[in-house]
């Protein structure tokens, strides 16, 4: 007896086997058949896009100073954590870095926007050439002076036009030196951007703390996706906590195909199909990712696979090993931070973006410190004493920034290649390369990631998601 199969349509639940012909024809009339149409991932709508606003703007630090300036982005009021970067260039890459989700980014460089915003062009591997993710990730932008006229051969729009399209408010004409001085003395603080309204002290109660939210769940892919490499035969599983495009490019360009999984995927259950596991960067407090930490701990207990982590991935690796993390006073966000390699005594100039760090004093005895920050002595890397597992707090892929430490990708992929060769001795028929069917079925870019919508909306979305999950469990 055939099982009763039910198919969902625009007209409700209809039996798939005994569907009325008339209804089938009615449904068919709405369809358009077009041959050779490539599969395209749906693009989340930017419901907060607005025309460029040139109204007065106010940047308010909670329990701190108020700065009046001029808007040059979206007409939208938001709150978030105010942080600063001393990077001189690379604002398109910084603003699209998922690690900045939920933060108001203050640039110390006096003039921002002079080379415009490039197009969302993709390279031969389908990765974005000039951005680190498809959308602007920061909740807000604060600069001393913005260039309304831009000049660069890759530019297609101004910084203000881009911010307005992405629904992100931006403020210019404020004293960023005073802002940064305050943040360095008081530490990273909650702040608001208000467009076209007088500051109201009562609104201080409306400040939203992004540390209350699992921001990684907002930037991680909701389903696996795959990027193939045509120059090698290794296959790495990437735990996507908000992975930057250039991290994927650094792996794929060195001959390793990558399959990216959601941040909370039980990676230890599928690691034997891969030659290595990589944990990406991402935003927020690492202690929110308890499922990821548990899965990494199980992975290290059950598999000898090589592991590398960057930024948040480095912190999650440390938590899985049994160490603790701490929140820094104002973090490290720059392209020129010196990091000492404890194994060689060499110093590298590194690109960084983080507000948390690993407490190296809590590392278990089978781990040791790999890199140390020469500015504030915070931890910049850990390495296992006997296994091919390590993490770095800084960004070896440096987009933008110096490439002093890019060799770490070669170090990791060398261990991946050795692991693959070793497995071939014990499993001669083992083939970790993805099957053509799998490559065809999986998406080619991150799935279901919603663009930044301000911390208030993120909080509401987070509460709605928790309520939906609770209702599903109850059902």
Q: List the catalytic residues.
A: 311, 395, 397
Residues 25 and 346: their CA atoms lie apart, in Å, by 72
Q: What is the DSSP letter of 138?
A: B
Angle, helices 312-321/290-302, rounded to nearest 10 degrees: 60
Give pairs for 381-387: CB < 8 Å, separation 24+. Answer: 381/314, 381/339, 382/314, 382/317, 382/318, 382/321, 382/323, 382/358, 383/343, 384/321, 387/304
Residues 221 and 234: their CA atoms lie apart, in Å, by 22
Q: Give me 213's structure tokens.
A: 């939210």
181: left (phi over 0), alpha (psi -120 to 50) or beta: alpha
Contact at 8 Å (CB) between 388 and 410?
no
Q: What is the DSSP letter of 362?
A: G
DSSP one-letter string for 249-296: HHHHTTTEEEEEEETTS-GGGTGGGSSEEEE----S-GGG-HHHHHHH
Contact at 8 Å (CB) between 254 and 227?
no
């Amino acid at each position: 007896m055939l099982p009763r199969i039910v198919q969902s349509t625009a007209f409700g639940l209809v039996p798939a086997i005994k569907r009325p012909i008339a209804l089938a024809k009615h449904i068919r009339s709405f369809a358009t058949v077009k041959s050779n149409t490539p599969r395209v991932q749906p693009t989340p709508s930017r419901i907060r896009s607005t025309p460029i606003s040139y109204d007065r703007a106010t940047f308010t630090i909670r329990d701190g100073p108020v700065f009046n300036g001029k808007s040059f982005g979206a007409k939208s009021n938001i709150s978030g954590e105010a942080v600063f970067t001393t990077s001189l260039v690379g604002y398109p890459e910084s603003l699209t870095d998922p690690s900045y989700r939920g933060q108001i980014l203050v640039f110390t460089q006096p003039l921002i926007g002079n080379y415009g915003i490039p197009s969302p062009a993709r390279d031969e591997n389908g990765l974005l050439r000039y951005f680190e993710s498809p959308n602007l990730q920061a909740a807000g932008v604060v600069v001393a002076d913005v260039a309304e006229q831009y000049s660069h051969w890759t530019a297609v729009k101004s910084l203000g036009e881009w911010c307005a399209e992405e629904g992100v408010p931006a403020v210019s004409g404020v004293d960023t030196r005073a802002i940064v001085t305050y943040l360095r003395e008081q530490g990273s603080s909650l702040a608001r951007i208000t467009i076209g309204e007088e500051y109201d002290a009562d609104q201080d109660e409306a400040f939203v703390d992004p540390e209350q939210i699992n921001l990684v769940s907002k930037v991680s892919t909701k389903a696996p996706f795959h990027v193939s490499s045509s120059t090698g035969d290794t296959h790495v599983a990437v735990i996507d906590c908000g992975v930057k495009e250039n991290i994927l490019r650094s792996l794929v360009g060195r001959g390793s195909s990558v399959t990216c999984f959601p941040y909370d995927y039980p990676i230890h259950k599928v690691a034997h199909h891969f030659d290595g596991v990589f944990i990406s960067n991402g935003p927020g407090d690492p202690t929110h990712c308890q499922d990821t930490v548990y899965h990494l701990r199980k992975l290290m207990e059950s598999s000898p696979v090589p592991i590398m982590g960057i930024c948040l991935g480095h912190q999650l690796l440390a938590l899985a090993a049994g160490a603790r993390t701490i929140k820094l006073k104002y973090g490290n966000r720059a392209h020129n931070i010196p990091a000492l390699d404890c194994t060689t005594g060499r110093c590298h100039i590194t690109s960084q973006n983080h507000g948390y760090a690993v407490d190296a004093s809590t590392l278990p005895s089978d781990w040791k410190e790999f890199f140390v920050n020469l500015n504030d002595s915070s931890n910049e890397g850990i390495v296992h004493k006997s296994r091919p597992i390590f993490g770095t707090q800084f960004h070896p892929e440096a987009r933008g920034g110096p490439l002093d430490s890019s060799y770490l990708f070669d170090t990791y992929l060398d261990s991946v290649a050795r692991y693959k060769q070793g497995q071939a001795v014990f499993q001669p028929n083992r083939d970790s390369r993805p099957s053509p069917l799998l490559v065809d079925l999986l998406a080619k870019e991150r799935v279901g990631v919603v663009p930044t919508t301000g911390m208030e909306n993120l909080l509401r979305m987070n509460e709605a998601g928790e309520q939906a999950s609770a209702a599903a469990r109850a059902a």
